[in-house]
Amino acid sequence: MQHCDTLILAGWCVPVEPHDLVLTDHAVAINDGKIIDILPSPDARQRYAPGVLVQRPDHILLPGFVNAHTHAAMSLLRGIADDMPLERWLSEGVWPLENRWVSAEMVRDGTRLAIAEMLLSGCTCFSDQYFFPEIVAETAVDLHMRAMVGTPVIESPSAWADGAAECLSKAADLVHDPYADHPLVSSCFAPHSTATVSDQTFTDLRVLADQLDTRIQIHLHESAQEIENEQNSNGKRPIERLRDLGLVNASLMAVHAVHVTDNEIALFADAGVVIAHCPRSNLKLADGIAPIAAYGKAGVTVALGTDSAASNNVMDVLGEMRTAALLAKVEAHDATALPAAQALRMATLEGAKSLGLADSIGSIEAGKWADLACIDLRHINSQPVYDPISQLVYTVQPQQVSDVWVAGKHQVDNGTLSHIDVAELLQRTSEWQYRIAGEQERKSA
């Protein structure tokens, strides 16, 4: 018999690639953090002598979810500035709080809270965009979570950098060292929006990104107000401005991309731009519904993101997957616009593609990292099971995630975090709530 570190036996295995395939009573063998085999469970029992045997007969085994857009540290601001439109939410709610509280300590504690929440809901990789990205990277490594760390680029000074020039300098340093070849962490540039970055900085950014072969992600066409403001300031729509500056290319991730024309969709398709779709954040901030069916017909890669816990207010990709599928049907007036299997693909392999990681994660294939999740379908809300993929998309809640592996490490075991001290995490979170809420109360007194 052949040794493997871990052998997982599951009632159903959904590899995502090939598309819409469900394998009944199958096993996945893991060694040195990577998938080495996918085969029927009876054959697996005869072929492999595992160090650890995990039996999940009533569960779906699938690739871990990819959260394509987050601001992880903002989990500490969850619920503090609710029920506001985007512009007021930023100017009156979020930015004043960030100016007061953002620090390396806040980013570390907020990112830990977010990673714990994401792991418990089956997420194994997240793309972040926030201040102190080096702390985000350190925290991801410390907690053994896969991350694409976006380094912010804005003109105005912050607790992290004095302005755009220092943002770019620090970003280049993060790309070079120490994460150039790290197995869990990669990095990209993350200019906040066209409203917060000058033409000169965009030009410098484009040159630097080309030199370093680094991706760029940016909030783009999130709200109608954003587009109107840009047209009033520059006489151009934000996408048009980025195109003229040479930034609309295959290295670009457009986050949100709600308000777009047919010509802009065609431009994205031709250029290879990818979309990070954040449906629940868009709904909560009343920004609109992105034309996901039209993107799909044009061949644009669409991934799913939760955005921050301050605008969502939860960070489970399961919920985004279900919301995305339902909204796409309504927006297109077509119940077939986004089938369950395609929604699952957006949450896994399309997410990996959007981050340039499709060769290593996003599907259950031999040679890829063992980033996996197991979901228990024995719950009342998921019974009976006629179609496992439909049940996964339309019925499953985060509490049904039983197991999660990141690069073969068992991070969630029977619904419990294996390597994170939850009591300590909650204590630190409570301390931040006391600090932030206490100051808010004193100001209003």
Residue 273 vs residues 33, 327, 397: alpha-carbon distances, Å: 31, 22, 31
Q: How confident is the model at residue 439 (pLDDT cuts 50, 70, 90)?
A: confident
Q: How confident is the model at residue 280 (pLDDT cuts 50, 70, 90)?
A: very high
DSSP reduced 3-state for 399: helix
What was the pLDDT predicted at 86?
86
What is the CATH T-level fold of the domain 2-62+371-414, as seen in this structure? Urease, subunit C; domain 1 (2.30.40)
Mean pLDDT of 328-352: 98
**In sequence order, what are the beta bridge partners of 218?**
254
The pTM of the full predicted model, rounded to 2 decimals, is 0.97
Q: How confident is the model at residue 181 (pLDDT cuts 50, 70, 90)?
A: confident
What was the pLDDT predicted at 187?
95
Please say if the pLDDT value at position 10 is more than 80: yes
Cα–Cα distance for residue pair 138/150, rounded to 1 Å: 13
Cα–Cα distance for residue pair 174/168, rounded to 1 Å: 10
Please say if the pLDDT value at position 392 is more than 70: yes
pLDDT digits (tens, 9 = 90+) for 152-179: 999 999 999 999 999 999 999 998 777 8
Lowest mean pLDDT among 79-83, 140-144, 153-157, 287-291: 79-83
Residue 265 vs residues 94, 206, 282, 290, 299: alpha-carbon distances, Å: 30, 22, 19, 11, 9
Residue 278 burial by CB count (10 A; 0-12/13-18/19+): exposed, middle or buried? buried
Please say if the pLDDT value at position 272 is more than 90: yes
DSSP reduced 3-state for 207: helix
What was the pLDDT predicted at 305?
98
Cis amide prior to 18 (ω within 30 degrees): yes
pLDDT digits (tens, 9 = 90+) for 88-108: 998 999 999 999 999 999 999
Please say if the pLDDT value at position 299 is more than 90: yes
More confident residue, 445 or 444: 444
Q: How confident is the model at residue 445 (pLDDT cuts 50, 70, 90)?
A: low
The share of the chain scoring above pLDDT 90, in percent, equals: 94
β-bridge pairing 409-413 and 401-406:
antiparallel
Domain chopping of the chain, boundaries: 2-62+371-414, 65-354
Q: 358-395 in b/e burial notation, b at 16+ Cβ within 10 A?
A: bebbbbbbeebbbbbbbbbbeeeebeebeebbbbbbbb
What was the pLDDT predicted at 226?
95
Mean pLDDT of 112-132: 98
More confident residue, 9 or 87: 9
Mean pLDDT of 25-47: 98
Average pLDDT over the chain reads 96
Mean pLDDT of 370-390: 98
**Count of Cβ atoms closer than 10 Å to residue 200 Cβ:** 12
Residue range 65-354 in CATH 3.30.350.10:
no
